[in-house]
Amino acid sequence: MPSLATVRLANQSYAPDYLPVAIFVGGTSGIGRATAEAFARYTKGNAHIVLVGRNAATAAAILAAFPKPSPTTTSPWKHEFVECDASLLHNAQATAAALRGRLPRVNFLLVSAGYFSLAGREDTAEGLDRKLVLSYYARAAFLVGLLPSLEAARAAGEPGGFLSVLGAGHGPRVDLQDLGLEKNYTAKAGMDASATYTDLMIEELASRHPSVALTHIFPGFVDTPLFNFTHWAARLAAPLIRTALFFMSKSTADAGEYTLYGLLGAEPGAQRRGEHGGEITEVPVYGLGSSEASRLVWVHTEEVLAAHA
């Protein structure tokens, strides 16, 4: 388990001889924001950074605070915001396609948009559960849409990596006959499914796209705005939950350092990382590599994406 000091030194050593292109989906809040801010700081702003999210005003403030390269630099650096409500899968796919159209080469794609709720199934206008969309389907949509750009970066001899901030190492066996949880939905089942589907997705896609780094990370307990205390039971427990988080959680800034470490240090292939950015050596419940489970989940994922293109 690397220390925070080790992680910071590793991040500080990142000195690319190319202009890195990094997309942060969910980059206006929480871990996504903290990771984007750390990336901007270590590159001294000399990068093309794209924040994808819903809040334009917040994004403008974040981008304004990023360090800027010297006025004499000839590098075509750029810091920008792209608005997208990723809770609608059609939006996620359209945004990914638009980004791919103008960014033929992408080095880093980090997805962290999501929210925590103890409420039951909450269907969007597309008839999909909002939590599952944000924690899995929309993330898969951005990955699928931008895979050609990630592969192009690898072909140019540069890094090309995807990282999903969720629940690496915490995905149990799931009902492979009820993918999407149409029959038996609970808040816990949704969280479990998202983590396991992500593990299976990166294993399956690594077998098909071996040059790209595909990472699933568990950030641990982090003091972020993620938690949504709308369910009556959660509202009653909110003071206790917040107190526990205060003592158990790390800051978003520290989480951003660990997440950036996992993003920058990833090698081609599937990998899972823990809350301090180190690799998880424990084998996931469905094993490593492509499997019947990973193929089933990916076929299901492709069907859902196609239905909401």
- Domains defined along the chain, listed by start: 4-307 (3.40.50.720)
* 154-202 pLDDT tens trace: 999 999 999 999 999 999 999 999 999 999 999 899 999 999 999 999 9
Q: Alpha-carbon distance 221 to 92, whole Å?
A: 27
Nearest to 140 by CA among 306, 305, 289, 307: 305
User: Whole-angstrom distance between the N-terminal and C-terminal Cα of the chain?
Assistant: 41
Helix (H, G, I), strand (E, B), or coil: what is residue 271?
A: strand
- What average pLDDT does the segment 202-220 reach? 97
Give me the DSSP letters along 98-117: HHHHH-S--SEEEE----B-
Query: pLDDT at position 284, please?
Result: 94
Cα 83–Cα 84–Cα 90 angle in degrees, nearest 5: 145
CA distance 14 to 26: 23
3-state secondary structure 17-37: CCCCEEEEECCCCHHHHHHHH
> Is it the case that residue 237 has pLDDT exceeding 50?
no
Record the pTM: 0.92
- Tell me the pLDDT tens digit for each residue of 3-56: 999 999 999 999 999 999 999 999 999 999 999 999 999 999 999 999 999 999
pLDDT of residue 129 exceeding 50, the answer is yes
pLDDT > 70 in the chain, percent: 91
More confident site: 241 or 306:
306
Q: What is the mean pLDDT of the chain?
A: 92
pLDDT at 263 over 50: yes
